[in-house]
A and B are shown apart, each in its own frame.
Chain A
Amino acid sequence: MSPLESRTLRLHVARRLSFGPTNALMGSINKVGTTQWIDNQLNWSAISESAIDPYLAKFPRASMTASQIANGVDPWMVKYDLAMATLIRAVWGKRQLYELLCDFWSNHFNIDVNHDTAAAHKPTDDRNVVRRHATGRFADMLVASAKSPAMLVFLDQASSRADGDRIPNENYARELLELHTVGIGGGYDEADIKEVAHLLTGWTLTDPWVGKYTFNPTWHDMGPLATGGSVLGWKPNGLTGQAAGQSFLVHLARHPKTANRLAYKLAVRFIGDHVKPTDAVVTNAAKAYTSNDTAIAPMVRSLLLSAEFTAAPAKKARRPFEYVAGSMRQVGMKFDPAKSENMMWISIDLLSKLGQVPHCWPAPNGYPDSDGKWLSAGAMVSRWNAATTIGQGMWLGMPAYDPARLLGTPVPTTVGGVIDKLSVSVLQAKLPASLRNAILGAVGMTADTPWLSWYNSRGLLSYVLQSPANQMR
C-alpha cells in the first residue's frame, strides 16, 4: 500500500466499488492498497465464490435453461429466483466490482423479465451475455446479445422478416443504435434505422419458449443496403445474410461514438452525475477501450484509477438496490437456508416498494442512473422504512444479524460511544457530530448518558442506517 494513500481514498473505493463497505472489505483493501485491490477485483475469476453456492442453490430457477423452465416452471418464480441470485451475490459475494459491472451491463442490455416469453430465456441471457462478457470484449457481448433469445423476444427481432411484402420490425435496430452502441447523436437517421432493420431480418428464434437463435435466410432481405449506401460508415462489401449483420455489429462495437458513450455511461456510474461526455476522464477511458479492441476491463481500470474518481467521494446517491443490498451487507445479515423463502418475500417486497427489483425495468434503457431519478420524497420514506426493517431484524423471526457483534467487545459505556461504535461497524466511519447529535436529541440523551446492559441497540442502528451518511456511495 502506498503510504500516501489516504483512508479517505480507501473508504471511497470501498463504498463506490462494492455494494457496501464492511470490516472484511476494508481489511482486504488495506492489505494490498486500492490499485492492487481494483486489479484483483477485475481479475474476478481468481476470487473464490464457492461460499455462496449453497445460498444460490436455494434459488435454482435463476440458472435454468429455457427447456428446463418450459418443463413446468412458473415464469414468476424465475423472476424471483433471478432477483434473489442477484441479491445474494451483491450481499455475500466477494466479486463486488464484477457484480457491479454485471448490474451495469444487465441494464445496458436491459431485458424486462416480465415481457412475453422473456422469463424463459432471461437466466440464459444473464449467464451467457452479461456475466460471461462483463469484463471481456464488448464486441463479443454485443454479438452474444444480438443472438440472445431473451433479447430477440424483448425487442421483437425474432418476428422481424422481409420476405414477400412484409415490413421489418424496427424495434431492435433502433435500440441497437440508440441504446446499445453509438447513441442519440451518433450519426444515424430514421432511414438508417430502417436499413439496419432490413439488414438483420432473419435473425430469429426456433421457438418463442424453448428455442435457440437461428438465422432464417428465407426471412432475410438486405433491403436498400444491397444496392449501395452505408450506415455509420459500414458497407456490406459483398457480404449478405448473417455474415453481413455480424460484420455490422462488430463495426458498431468499434465505432468511436460507441467507445465514448460506453466510457461516459461507466463514468456516470462510477464517478458521478457531474461528469460530461467530453471530459478527459471519459476520452481517456474510450481510448483504452479502442486501443484494446473493445476490451471492457482496461476502460474500467482507466476510469477507476483516474484523479476524477479519487476526487468524487460520496458524490453519488445509492440507488435502492444498492441501499438495500448494502445495508444488509453492512449489518452482517446472515443467510439462513431454512428460511430462504421468507428472506425472498421480504427482500422482494422492500425492493418493489423502492422501485428496483433487478431485471424488472420495463423499458429497454435499463434502470435510471441519475440521482434525481431516485431521490424523491416518497422514495426517502421507503428507504427509511427499509432501514427499519433491516435494522430491527424484522425478518419473520429469523436471527438476521448479531447486534452484539456490531457493538464489539468491550461494549461502549455511553450512548454516544454506542452510536460511534455502531456507525464505525456499519459505515466504516463515525457519523458526523451533527448527525450523532441529531440522534441523541431525538432519544433525549447526551453522549455521556451511561449505556445500560439491558438497552437494545437495534433502534439506534436503524437511525444510523436511515441517516444521510448511509444514502451516498
Chain B
Amino acid sequence: MDEPRESADRPVAVPLTQGFGRRRFLTMAGGAAAAVAATAWVRPSLLLGGSAVDAAGVPTGNTLVQLFLRGGADGLSLVAPLGDITYQTLRPGIAVPDGAALALDGRFGLHPRAVALKALYDQGRLAVVPAAGSPAPTRSHFEAQDLMEKGTPSTNLTPDGWFGRWMTRSGSSEENALRGVGVGNGLQAALRGSSAISTPDLSSLLVNDLDTVTWTHAPGEMTRALSEMYRVTTNGALKMQGTAALAVVAELAPIVQNSALPEGWPPEFGRGLWPIARLLSAGIPVEAAAVDIGGWDFHDHMGSATDPNGEMGRHVAGLDAAIGKFFEYLGPVGDRVTVVVMSEFGRRIEANASGGTDHGRGQAMFVAGGGVSGGVKGAWPGLLDTDSGDVRVVNDYRAVLSEVLAQRMRVTDLGPVFPGFDTSSASWLGVTAPA
C-alpha cells in the first residue's frame, strides 16, 4: 500500500469537497498579511523533503498524525506478553489473561478490546513496538511529555518541538495554512516553532456574525473589522494567531458548517481525530497533525481486562474504536495517512495497593495506516531485566519517528529534527514498508 517515491509529483485521486480542491490559501511569511485564495500556488521544494502539493493544487503528500496518550498509558495492558509468569504474578487481577489476549505473534497479544487494532494488524497495517520510549529517565508526566515532544531528551531548553522543526525545515515561504494542525486548546509542544494552527474542534473555526442586533447590515463587516484589527496590532502573538485564524476561517467555512460527528463515531475518545479525518477527506493537505487522548494515569482501579466495565478496558476500547473509525472513514485516503500512537511513559510492572500501577518506563507504541510494515517490531527485554521495576526502554521513540518521517514524509535531513540521535536507517525498527 505504500506508494513509490517517484509518484510524488503525480496527482493522486483524493476526494475533494465540491469547489474547494482547487482553491488554496497562503499564510503570512514573517508576519506579512495573509493573502487569501491566491491564484498561483508555489510548490514547496522537494529538496527540503516536504511532501508536495502540485501546481494544480491536488495534494500528493502524506500525513503523519501524532496520537498522544496523555497520562502514561500502560503498555503492558495494550500489548501483553503471553505466557509470562512474572507478568501474571505481579499483576493479580489486572494482567491480561493469556486466553483473552488477541494473539499477535506468539510472544504478545493485544488487549481483548483492541479488536480494530487487531484487524489492522491482520491486514498488515499495524506495527507494534513494545519496550519503547525515551532515554530520559524521568517518571514525571510533565517533564516526560515535554522532553519527548521537544525531541531532545537530554535538555528541556529547546524552544521548539520535533514536529515543528520538521515543518519549519521542509516548509516553503508560502504554505498551506492547514499544513500543521493541533487539535486542542493550545498547540502541542511537538508542533511548537511551526506555523501549525491549533483548534479544539472544527466548529470553533466558525465566526458567529452579529446576529440579533445588527449594525450596518453590511455582510462581512465583522470579518473586516477583525482582519484589520489583528493586522495592525503591535502584539506579535495576537497578530499571528488572529491572522492565521481568519485565513483558516475564510477557507474552511463550507467544511466547518458540515462537521458534526458522524453516526457511530466514538464521541469521547474519537473526538480529537474527527477534525483531522474531516479535513483529510475534504482534500485539505494536512501533513502534520497532533491529537491527544487523555485519562491514562491509572494509579488505581485499572480493572480486569475481561470485565466489560473495567476502566482500563474502557479506555482501550475507546482508543481502538477511534483508530478503527478513523481509517474506516478515510477509506483509500487512509493509505496516505500514518498514525503514530505514543505516550510519555509506560507503567510499573508490579501493581500497587490500589489495584493500579504507578509511573514506569517502557511503553507500547503503535504505527498504523499507510506505508506500515505490519508486525511486532524492535527488541524486547522481558520483565526480569528491569529499570528499577519498570520495563526497560530498548526501542527509542525517535527511531520510530525518524523512520516514519524519512519513509512517509520523505525527509532527507533528519539531524536537526532529533539532534544528537542517529536518525539513519541503522537505527530504524522496520515499522514502514520499503519505499
Binding site for B on A (CB under 8 A): 155-156, 159-162, 166-171, 174, 178, 184, 190, 193, 314, 317, 353-356, 362-363, 365, 368, 371-382, 384-385, 388-389, 392-394, 434-435, 437-439, 441-445, 455-456, 458-460, 462-463, 466-468, 471-472
Contacts and interface: CB of A to CB of B under 8 A. Distances in A.
Contact of A466 (B138, B143, B226, B235): B226
Interface string B217-240: 010011011101111110101110
Contacts of B249: 381
A373 B198 CA distance: 10
B362 to A, nearest CB: 15
A384 B140 contact: no
26 contacts: A156-B354, A162-B353, A169-B353, A170-B359, A178-B142, A184-B138, A317-B238, A355-B200, A363-B71, A368-B186, A372-B186, A375-B186, A376-B197, A377-B197, A378-B201, A392-B210, A392-B213, A394-B211, A441-B224, A442-B221, A443-B216, A459-B210, A459-B213, A462-B210, A471-B235, A472-B238
A363 B145 CA distance: 13
A167 B351 contact: yes
A156 B300 contact: yes
Interface string B121-157: 0000000000000000111111100000000000000
Contacts of A466: 225-226, 229
A373 B241 CA distance: 12
A392 B229 contact: no
Nearest to B70: A363
Contacts of B225: 438-439, 441-443, 463, 466
Interface in B71-104: 71
A231 B306 CA distance: 41
Contact of B229 (A161, A362, A435): A435
Contact of A456 (B215, B244, B350): B215
Nearest to B186: A373
A438 B237 contact: no
B186 A374 contact: yes
A194 B137 CA distance: 16
A377 B356 contact: no
B187 interface: yes
B136 to A, nearest CB: 12
A168 B353 contact: yes
Contacts of A462: 210, 222
Interface residues of B, number: 69
Contacts of B232: 434-435, 437-438
A363 B198 contact: no
- 5 nearest interchain CB pairs? A378-B199, A459-B215, A355-B185, A376-B198, A438-B228
B352 interface: yes
B353 A159 contact: yes
A375 B241 contact: yes
A190 B386 CA distance: 15
Contacts of B215: 443, 455-456, 458-460
A463 to B, nearest CB: 5
Contacts of A373: 185-186
B199 A442 contact: no
Contacts of A167: 350-353
Contact of B233 (A170, A435, A439, A456): A435
Interface in B318-344: none
A351 B242 CA distance: 19
B222 to A, nearest CB: 7
B192 A372 contact: yes
Contacts of A471: 235, 238
B300 A169 contact: yes
A363 B197 contact: no
Nearest to A363: B141
A168 B187 CA distance: 36
Nearest to B218: A444
A375 B241 CA distance: 7
A399 to B, nearest CB: 13
A224 to B, nearest CB: 14
A443 B210 CA distance: 12
Nearest to B238: A468
B212 interface: yes
A322 to B, nearest CB: 15
Contacts of B186: 368, 372-376, 379
Contacts of A162: 353
B213 A190 contact: no
B358 A380 contact: no
B229 A388 contact: no
Given A160-B354, A362-B295, 5 more contacts: A184-B143, A376-B182, A376-B186, A377-B205, A378-B200
